[in-house]
Amino acid sequence: MEIKVFDSPEEIASVCADEFTALLTSKENCVLGLATGASPVPTYKELVRRYNAGVISFKHASSFNLDEYVELPRNDKNSYYTFMHENLFNSVDIDEANVHILNGNAEDTAKECADFDAAIEAAGGIDIQLLGIGTNGHIGFNEPSSSFSDGTFKVKLTDSTIKSNSIYFTENAMPRYALTMGIQSIMKAKKIVLIATGASKAEAVKNAVKGEVTPMCPASVLQNHPNCIFLLDTAAASLLG
Ligand code: PGA
């Protein structure tokens, strides 16, 4: 695990966008693992800027998003479908047919999850997986638990996650369940880039980087990934010593 510390979210975005640029310009049919939340927003802004400048194209790329809420209409302002379109897809040349976002309204969620993992395999596996980290150490919606999850699955969200994300749900109740790529789905990515900013993430970052590898801090599993970078600001890195 490589740790890089920066002064600002913009510097992190630039370095993270460099990782995507290197991939997009060297492998036409590359497979992107994408994340939602506040952490990746500056990176998506930078990728849109580079797309507009003619530096990168998403024309032949595919994307797979980490997670989606269950039983939230796809076009709800807080769905991750909406988030990804507003923050990236509507502003670049990605082919909608190559965009994969879990359907949290699928009748058969087990099938939806199995089909998602199969689609990742069929695309050749994820080249770069972007991650945020929850204040409780979650990655995707893999919440602290007694065991590491395997493939994509339906998860009950913890109180900590509901508290963190309910600020966005001003008009309707926040869903209590989500579909998420599992720990093993995430660990199969060829490269993983995790972004964490702000003091609220410092404890989770410390546990992920310096603590024991335990499903009680799901991000700690990344210590076992052969090609993983943490991009942190000084506040998120403040407990690393
Ligand atoms: P955030 O969420 O980027 O909005 O802080 C990260 C996460 O919960 O995984």
Number of C-alpha atoms within 13 angstroms, CB side, residue 90?
7
134 Cβ closer than 6 Å to some ligand 1 atom: yes
Ligand 1 atom nearest the C-alpha of 164 is 8
User: What integer pLDDT is reported at residue 46 of this predicted model?
Assistant: 98
Q: What is the pLDDT of residues 4-52, one digit of tens each?
A: 999 999 999 999 999 999 999 999 999 999 999 999 999 999 999 999 9
42 Cβ closer than 6 Å to some ligand 1 atom: no
pTM: 0.97
Beta-carbon contacts of residue 20 (< 8 Å; ≥ 6 apart): 32, 43, 47, 56, 128
CA angle 110, 116, 121 (to 5 degrees): 130
DSSP structural state of residue 104:
T
User: What integer pLDDT is reported at residue 10 of this predicted model?
Assistant: 96
Q: Write out the chain's pLDDT in tens, 241 residues.
A: 999 999 999 999 999 999 999 999 999 999 999 999 999 999 999 999 999 999 999 999 999 999 999 999 999 999 999 999 999 999 999 999 999 999 999 999 999 999 999 999 999 999 999 999 999 999 999 999 999 999 999 999 999 899 989 999 999 999 999 999 999 999 999 999 999 999 999 999 999 999 999 999 999 999 999 999 999 999 999 999 8
Selecting among 46, 65, 67, 68, the annotated active-site residue is: 67
Ligand 1 atom nearest the C-alpha of 165 is 4
Pocket test for ligand 1, best of 84, 87, 130, 133 (most atoms within 8 A of CB): 133
Q: What is the pLDDT of residues 153-171, one digit of tens each?
A: 999 999 989 998 999 999 9
68 is catalytic: no
User: What integer pLDDT is reported at residue 24 of this predicted model?
Assistant: 98
User: What integer pLDDT is reported at residue 66 of this predicted model?
Assistant: 98
- The token pair at 195 is 């972004």
